[in-house]
Structure 1
Amino acid sequence: MGFFGFKNFDQLTETELTIYRFVANDIEKTAYMRVRDIAKEAHVSNTSVMRFVHKLGFNSFTEFKVSLHSAKLDQQKEQSDQSLSLHFIMKENFPQDIYEKLMVVADKIINADMVIYVGMGSSAALAEYASRQTAAIGINSFCIKDPFYPLSAQLQNTTNNVLITFSVSGRTPEIIGLLNDFVNNIDNTLVSITGNLESSLAKMCHYNLSYKTNEERIHHFYDMTTQVPATYLIENLLLRVRHLLQ
C-alpha cells in the first residue's frame, strides 16, 4: 500500500510515477514544499504535479499537503514503534549450543532430589515463578530470595540437589557469597541463568544457560533490564523436563 493508501499504480503515467517516487522517498521534506518546488526537484511540470494530486483523489494541493503531514507523522510513529519493539528472543541472543545445554540441565532436574531456585530483586520473582512451575509438574522445589538464608545448613545432610540461580549481571556479591559454600560440594549441581557468561556466577557454576542483553538502570540503582530472555530459558527448560517425564 502507498503512503496515501493509494493502490492503483497502474493508473499512473510514467511522469506521475516519477512524482510519486520522489515524494515517497522523502515525505518529511516534500511535506513542506510548494508545487513548483516538487516540479523542479522531480524534473516535471507544475501541471503534471497538479494532475498527479488530483489523480490521487485530492481536491487541492493544500489537501494533498495535509495528507503528506499525516503520512509523515505515521512514518515517525512507525519508526518509533520499531525502535521500542522487542528483539530479545532471537537466535543471535543465545549461544549456539543453548538447546543442548537445556537438555542436559533438564535431565539433571528430573534426576534430582531437590531443585532450588535462587534470585534477588526482579530475578527473585522469576526464581519464585520457576519454583512454582517446577513443583506443579511434581518435582521437589523451593525458592530462595533471601541471600542470607542458611541454605548450606539446610542442605547439609542432603544429596543430589540442583541449584539454579538467576542473575542478569552475575556479579551480585550476596548471591556469589550464598553459592560459594556449594562450589566444591559434589552433592550439588550449580546452574546459572545469566546475561554475563564472563561473570563470577557463570564461572563458579557447572552449567551456564546464558543470553545476551543490555543492562539498563534508572536513578543509578533501579535495575530495569529485561527478564524476557531468562523467562524464555526457564520456560524452555521446564518444557523439556515435562517431555522427559512423559
Structure 2
Amino acid sequence: MAFFGFKDIDKLSEVDMAVYRFIVDHDEQVPYMRVRDLAKGAHVSNSSVMRFIHKIGYSSFPEFKVSFKTENQDLMKSNDDILNIITRDVFPNDIEKTIKLVAHIMLDADNVIFFGMGASGAIAKYAARQAASLGFNSLAVEDPYYPLIQQLSNASNNVLITLSVSGKTTELVETLNDFVNSADTVLVSITGNIESPIARIGRYALTYKVKETRIHKYYDLTSQVPCVYLVDGLLKELRNQDNARRLN
C-alpha cells in the first residue's frame, strides 16, 4: 500500500477526493491527527474518512498514519534543492551588455532566425514564436539540412541565432560556415561553452555555465533552463528597446 502511489484516483468519489486533497495539503500534520480532526479539516463525516481509508487499502486509521508518515519522510529525504537550478554566477559578468547589443541588432533586422536541434530546437521554436508576437519577422529552423543559405540568399539584414548547449554540434557548425563571410547575416549564439566553435564563429555569444548530463551515452539531460533564461532576457530587452523607439 502507498498513499502517494495510489493509482485508482478515478475510482474516488468527490467526497473521497476532498479527503485526499486535505491529506496532501497537510502532510506534516496528518500523522498526528485523529479521525475527527481529519474529517473536520476536509469538511466530511468521520465515516467518510474511514471509507476512504479502507478504499485505498488500509484496515485501520492507525495503520494508515504509520504508513503515511514513513512514506512522506522517505519522499522528503532528498537534501537537494530541486528549484535551485540557476544563479547569477552561471552567466558572464557582462551578459547584460551583450544582451542589449544583440537586441539592438535584432531591432533593425528584416529576418530573425532561431536555429537549433533537439531540445535546443524546441527552445528555438519558442523564441521565434515570442519574437513574432512582438511583431518581428522571425522563424525557427530545427533541421540542420534545411536550405537556409538558399532561403536567405536574396535577403539582407538577417540575424541568425544558434542555440546549442555544447556549441560543437557538427551539423550546426557546417551550416553556420556558409554564413561566415556573409555581409547580410549577423551570427549570434546562445551556448553553454564559450570556447566552442559555435561561440567563436559569430559576432556575439550569449554564454552560460552548465554541467552536461548524459545517460545511456546518447540521451542529453543537460538543463536548458539557462538557455531559456537568456532567451527570455533577450526578448524582454528587445521589447524594451522597441517601446523606447516608438516613444521617441
> Where do 1:25-40 residues align within 5 Å?
none
Aligned pair partner of 1:107 in 104, 107, 116:
104
Aligned partner of 1:53 in structure 2 is none
- Counting matched residue pairs gives 177
1:195-231, CA deviations, whole angstroms, 9 ceiling, x for partnerless residues?
A: 0000010010110000010111111101111110000
TM-score scaled by structure 2? 0.67
Aligned partner of 1:136 in structure 2 is 133
1:86, distance to aligned residue in structure 2 (A): 3.3
> Counterpart amino acid of 1:182?
F
Aligned partner of 1:150 in structure 2 is 147
Aligned partner of 1:187 in structure 2 is 184
Question: Could you say what secondary structure the match of 1:143 adopts?
Answer: strand
- Matches of 1:104 and 1:141 in 2, distance apart? 18
> Counterpart amino acid of 2:128?
S
Q: What's the Cα RMSD here?
A: 2.1
Aligned partner of 1:220 in structure 2 is 217
The answer on 1:124 being equivalent to 2:126 is no
- Matches of 2:113 and 2:207 in 1, distance apart? 18
1:91, distance to aligned residue in structure 2 (A): 1.3
The answer on 1:238 being equivalent to 2:235 is yes
Aligned partner of 1:92 in structure 2 is 89
The answer on 1:169 being equivalent to 2:166 is yes
Q: Runs of 4 or more off by more than 3 Å in structure 1? A: 76-79
* Gap regions ≥5 residues in structure 2: 1-68, 244-248
Distance change >3 Å, CA 78–CA 92, structure 1 → 2: farther
1:128-163, CA deviations, whole angstroms, 9 ceiling, x for partnerless residues?
A: 000000001100001111000110011111111000
1:2-53, CA deviations, whole angstroms, 9 ceiling, x for partnerless residues?
A: xxxxxxxxxxxxxxxxxxxxxxxxxxxxxxxxxxxxxxxxxxxxxxxxxxxx
Aligned partner of 1:202 in structure 2 is 199
- Matches of 2:169 and 2:85 in 1, distance apart? 23
- Matches of 2:197 and 2:75 in 1, distance apart? 42
1:156-208, CA deviations, whole angstroms, 9 ceiling, x for partnerless residues?
A: 11111000011000000000011110011121111100000000100101100
Distance change >3 Å, CA 113–CA 79, structure 1 → 2: same
Do the aligned residues in 2 keep the contact of 1:124 with 1:166 (CA within 8 Å)?
yes
- Matches of 2:187 and 2:234 in 1, distance apart? 15
1:79, distance to aligned residue in structure 2 (A): 5.9
1:78, distance to aligned residue in structure 2 (A): 5.3
- Matches of 1:84 and 1:200 in 2, distance apart? 33
1:89, distance to aligned residue in structure 2 (A): 2.4
1:87, distance to aligned residue in structure 2 (A): 3.1
- Matches of 2:95 and 2:76 in 1, distance apart? 33
> Where do 1:62-81 residues align within 5 Å?
74=73, 80=78
Distance change >3 Å, CA 88–CA 208, structure 1 → 2: farther
Aligned partner of 2:4 in structure 1 is none
